[in-house]
Each structure stands twice: as C-alpha cells, then as structure tokens.
Structure 1
Amino acid sequence: MDQRLSDSPAGGERTRVYVGGYTDGLPESGAGVWAFDQDPATGALSPAEPGSEAPAVRASNPSYLALNADGTVLYAVHEDAPGTVSGFAVSEGGLRAIGRAPTGGDGPCHLAVTEDGRHLLTANYDSGGFSLHPLDDDGAPGAPLQTVYGDGPRGPREDRQDGPHAHQVVVAAAGAGGPLLAVDLGTDSVYAFRLDPAAGRLEASAASRLAPGSGPRHLAAASSGLAYVLGELDSTVTTVRIDPATGALDPLGSVPASPAAVGTNHPAAIRLSPDERFCYVTNRGSDTVAVFAVEGSGLRFAAEVPCGGAWPRDIALVGGFAYVANQHSDQVAVFRCGADGSLAPTGAAAAVPRPACVLAAAV
C-alpha cells in the first residue's frame, strides 16, 4: 500500500487516526493500538470510543501499522523476539483480531500489503530479513512463505551496521506493477524485488548501494519516479530516481535532514504532502520537523519547526493537518498544514504512551 495519504476523506467519511508504539513495562491497560477520530475543523483527536482512555486493542509493541487497500484490515508488527504480525478487521464497532503469525525473524519494525492484496511483507530489523506472508480470504496473515536477506557488504558503522538490518518495505514505489523496494540500514542498500504471486516468491531485480555509513531507514516515493531516502546514520535526505523496470536507484543529490541540528541527530520518518510539493522529515535529537520544497530533481530546505514534544518518531498528513508521534513525551502533537507547506502548532495533543507510528484513514 502506498503510504501517501489523501488530503481529505471522501464526502460523508470520517478520518480515523491509529497510533502504535512500544509497550514494554507498561501496564496491560495502557498497552496496544490506539484509535482516534479527527475533528475536521481543528484537527484535534478524540478517542474513537467516547469516554475511553484505553487502547482499541491490546497488543505487544505494535511499533508499525499498515492498512490493506480498501481499509478493511489493519496490520501491526509486534517488535519482539521472536517477531509476529497481527491482522485486525476494521469496522464502525472498532478493531477485531482475525489472526496472528510469526514473521520468521526478530524485531519486526515495518510492513506493507502488496498490490495483489494477497500478500504482506514484514521487515525484521534485528535479524535482518524481509519476509513474505500469505493473506487468506479474510485478510489474516500466515507464516512466511519466504525470507530474503540483503547480500551487500555491511556498512562502516560497527555500532549499528554489524549485519543486515531490514527497516522498511515499499510497495508501488515505481508505479503500479513495479518492483518492491526493501530498505536495509545495515548494508547501506535498497534492494528491489519482483513478486511472483502465483508461486508466492520474491525474485531479486536490483541492489542499490547508497553512501557508506548513511544507514538508509525509510524512503518516500513520488509519482514522478523520484524518491527521497532518509539516512538515519548520516542525517541526510538523498533524492534518487527509480528505474521503473528494475527498481534500481540513481542518486541525484543529498541535503541535511536537520539543518538546525547541533550534535547527533537521528531522522526517523519521511513523508510527502498529498500534492507531492513538500517533503517532511522528523528529527530525533534536534526534536524538530524539517520541511523541504520539492523543486525539479531535488529538495530545497524551507523550514524547521519544533516537534511539540520529544523524540519525534513518525508523522502522518491528512485533512490539512499533521500528526507527530513524540515517543519520549508520550503524545501525538497536532499541526495545521499551510498551503506553502508550513506547519503551525494547534496546541492540541493526544496522550499515547511511547508512540512510534501514526496512520490515518477514512472510515
């Protein structure tokens, strides 16, 4: 599923915002996936179940979330050892568990549903592999059909690049029917694969090595054929051109992820605005969101604003608002998005323990 979000839901629909995060050490009553409804006028978030101060579903370390194409099933990875992935049916009544499966590795931190709607991909950070799962008719995930590993040499950072560290899987980055992209922090590489849905197999089509020690974490793909790769370890954003046939990346240039950073900075999330005119990066360390204007085949720094909390791990853009998951301040801060790409704090925030992922969808 492409993670670019529509600017606003269709007429008559409401926007629901799901939040996942880290639960180790939390009481069971406060651990799981949280669900909020958006106020379309102010952007404020209120519990999807009025009066509730509990998560929508209990879950262990649901650090990343994804929806299938029609929004009827929500998926969550559980960043544990061994790792697992769960599916939840979405309805007006809330979330209902429909299945859980091992990911075939440890510390899964990202996932995505393939275009055929019959498979799910998970990225296992600790053990380094990308796993392909079948989805049954109800959307429930099954045990991995295959796990693939990046075969490039490890990066030069001994403290973080001791081997492959799968960090993101991207579907439809090169357009409908294009290759899947798998981002590996440990080998400074982005791998491309083709899915054979009948065989339930991934076939490698390209491997693109980025700057040594950059530690690619996430990328955001545009309809133009460009993508923007976030380097967690060197705090950069690199513009690349994607070969639509193979998925190979051609680097075009880099900019600092946080021009305001003093000392160590660890960028976490990167998102394009719905119209793809702006790119947003969350920065852990400087505790900011950096805004870049998309200009031709590159990015121009436009602004950098405080994240409204501490350790911003994720950002979602929907309905003219931005939602920033501030992991260390236990809240999701709300910003209004300007036509010029600017972010203005609304002063509103939703209390969520240790948020790591924000996902918005129409219901």
Structure 2
Amino acid sequence: MLVTNGKETGMAILTGYLGTYDSPRSRGVFRFSFDGETGALTAPELLLEAPDAKYLALRDGLLAAPVRRGSRAGLCLADLRASGGPCVVEYLCEMTPGCYTAFDGDRVYSANFHEGTVTVYRLEADAPLFEKRIEIAPGAGCHQVLARGRFLLVPCMNLDEIRLFARESLAPVGSVPFPKGSGPRHGVFDRARERLFVAAQGDNTLYSFAAGPEGFVPAGAEPLLPPDAREGSEAAAVRLSNDERFLYVSVRGENVIAVLEARGTRTRVIQRAPCGGDHPRDILLSPDGRFLLAANRNAGGLVCFAVDRETGLIGKECARVDACEGVAVVLDAPNEDAQAAPGAAGKDG
C-alpha cells in the first residue's frame, strides 16, 4: 500500500531503489514504490543483501552498486529483468568499497574515496570484468566519475581539483583546479554538456564552468549557506531540474536542501528548505519534476516533497517512510535524465 499523509492511493507507480551504508539494520539495497501522481511511498524492503551498497547506478534494468564481502570489495551488478528475482554477479577486486558507480557505454566506473582510485569494469553479457585501475593518489578523495566528450572527470575532494582523463584510453590529460580547502565533491552537466555545476563539500559552494572541446572555464561561485550556518555543515548531492532552470543541493549539518536558480552559468540561492531529517544524502527529482525525494541517513528516513515547477521552490512534505542508513536513491523511470545521479556517498566514503 502506498501512503501519503495517511491516505491510500496508487497510480503512475514507479519502482525505487535505496542504497545504504552497512549496519545491523541495513545490509544492502532496498526497494520501494513511488506514486508519481501523489508522491506516496511504500516502506523500503530489502532486495539485495549487499553490504555497503551506498551508491546506485541504474540503466536498462541493470543495477550497479559497491559491495563489501569480508576483507574484499568490488562491484555488484544485479539484472532486475531476470524472472524469479534479480540475477546478481559480483566482481571483487578492490580493497574497500567505492563511493560512486556510473555506467558509460560498455563500462562501469567505481570511484574509491579512500584508495584514491577509479576502478574500470567492462561489461560482457551483462557481467562485469576488470579492465583497469586508474591510480590517482592515496586518500585523494575520488568521489565521482563524469563523462563528457573525450574526457572523464574525477572530482578529487582532498586534492581540490578535478582530474581529467581520456575517455577512450583512460590516460591522464590534465586537471581543473579549485580553491584550497574547497573540496569539490560532485558535479552535474546540463543536457547539452555545455555547463558544469560542481558542489564543493569543504566550503559549501556551488561552482559553475563553461564546458568547451578543450576543457572547462570557471564561470562563477555561489555560497550555499549563510555566514552563520552551523559549523561542520557539508554539501552532498547536486541535481539539475529537467528544464535546466534550477539546481538542488543537499547540505548535511545545516540539514537543508539549497535551491538555486540557474541562468546560463550564473546561479543564485532562492531557498534553503529543511530536508525533513538529519544528515541528508542523495536527493532525486521525479521524472516530471513535481516531487523531490531526500534520503536522510541518521534520522527522518526517505521523504518526498512537492516541488513548484514554475518557481523551483520546495513545498510541503507529501510522504515519509522509515529508512536506516539511506544514502543513494534511484527510480526505474523512462526519463533517463532523471537518473543522471551525481552522487550520494559521504566524506567517510
């Protein structure tokens, strides 16, 4: 049964998946339902026992996530289209679980915060095989992998830069510097791949870049929080609305979702809305942009908010379900732009 403000409903139902940190109550990937008409949610139920599946990527019925098995770690790939339940294949070749996974053609990338690496897996018959490990630096804080044209971009939080690699050969080709202590964490491109917006965890700033064939030109920086914000606050996930007019950034500590208006590469904060809990991680817009889901790791669970598509502002809470250690959230939706998840895992990887 779907629940929204205590009422039962059910139309335009989508399946959602929640990735979690490992704990006695959260041993993997959970599945829930989302009503695209009302914002109603069902309580998440365990789908895959996959410890530390704290980031999710979903494409064409294939769900990718980090996984830890004892002293080994790597990639878990679940075929959700299989009859009789998910068909799961794992490849364990990492020392610690990654904090980000992403599909790119016949590859899957795993960014590893602690190891300072990106592990590249190649898909063959929907099974992952090790292709290469990109070594950056121990403790570099690799937090994401983004593909654009001939480039792979790897935000390295502890190096205050985005490392650039050739998308085909995976060879290093340069970097994009950030201010010292800024801690670039996750970015999102517009649909044309001409604008890049990067949320920085260290200084809680959203940086804008103009993207060209040869690189990325700084175009602006907008503080996400007021000067009197709670000490220790840290930006987490960033999302761009499908009409590309608004950006949404979750900020832990202050426990808000910052809403920014985007005009070209210029941005400005227009709202700081409560996240509905403690320690917001991933956020996700519904395919039509009418709702926003927020996964709160420490308290508050998975929360759905109404969104005004004209103003971009976050409105009333529509539904809430209990979820422990929630980090990443994806929807099995036909709109692929809504699935371009830019990040969820935290400073602790």
**TM-score interval, smaller chain:** 0.7 to 0.9
Tell me: CA distance 1:204–1:189, structure 2 relative to 1, closer, same or farther (3 Å).
same
| 2:209 aligns with one of 224, 240, 246 | 240
Q: How big is each residue's C-alpha offset from its partner over 1:29-53, in whole Å with a ceiling of 9 and x where there is no partner?
A: x522111121122111125xxxxx6
SS in 2 for 1:186: helix
Q: How big is each residue's C-alpha offset from its partner over 1:128-176, in whole Å with a ceiling of 9 and x where there is no partner?
A: 1011111111x22123x2111336xxxxxxxxxx8411100113xx3xx
Distance in 2 between the 1:351 and 1:94 partners?
A: 27
Is 1:168 aligned with 2:144? yes
Q: CA deviation at 1:98?
A: 2.8
Q: CA deviation at 1:262?
A: 2.9
TM-score (norm 1): 0.82
The equivalent of 2:41 in structure 1 is 45
The equivalent of 2:164 in structure 1 is 192
- Aligned partner letter, 2:314: L
The equivalent of 2:296 in structure 1 is 326
The equivalent of 2:337 in structure 1 is none
Q: CA deviation at 1:310?
A: 0.6
Further displaced range: 349-358 or 98-107:
98-107
- Aligned partner letter, 1:228: F
SS in 2 for 1:135: strand
Contact 1:193 1:204 in 2 (8 A): yes
The equivalent of 1:20 in structure 2 is 19
- Aligned partner letter, 1:20: G
Q: CA deviation at 1:79?
A: 6.1
Is 1:228 aligned with 2:214? no
- Unaligned 5+ segments in structure 1 are 1-11, 48-52, 152-161
| 2:222 aligns with one of 255, 269, 274 | 255
SS in 2 for 1:264: coil
> Which of the pair is proportionally richer in strand?
2
Q: CA deviation at 1:103?
A: 4.5
The equivalent of 1:74 in structure 2 is 63
The equivalent of 2:341 in structure 1 is none
Q: Percent identity?
A: 27
Distance in 2 between the 1:103 and 1:220 partners?
A: 28
Distance in 2 between the 1:78 and 1:231 partners?
A: 26
Q: CA deviation at 1:105?
A: 4.2
Is 1:361 aligned with 2:320? no
- Unaligned 5+ segments in structure 2 are 1-10, 335-349
Distance in 2 between the 1:205 and 1:328 partners?
A: 39
1:52-63 residue pairs with structure 2 within 5 A?
54-63=45-54
SS in 1 for 2:29: strand
- Aligned partner letter, 1:280: Y
Aligned residues: 318
Is 1:342 aligned with 2:332? no
Tell me: CA distance 1:92–1:98, structure 2 relative to 1, closer, same or farther (3 Å).
closer
Q: How big is each residue's C-alpha offset from its partner over 1:188-227, in whole Å with a ceiling of 9 and x where there is no partner?
A: 111222233xxxx412233111111111110111135111
Is 1:306 aligned with 2:306? no
Distance in 1 between the 2:237 and 2:202 partners?
A: 13
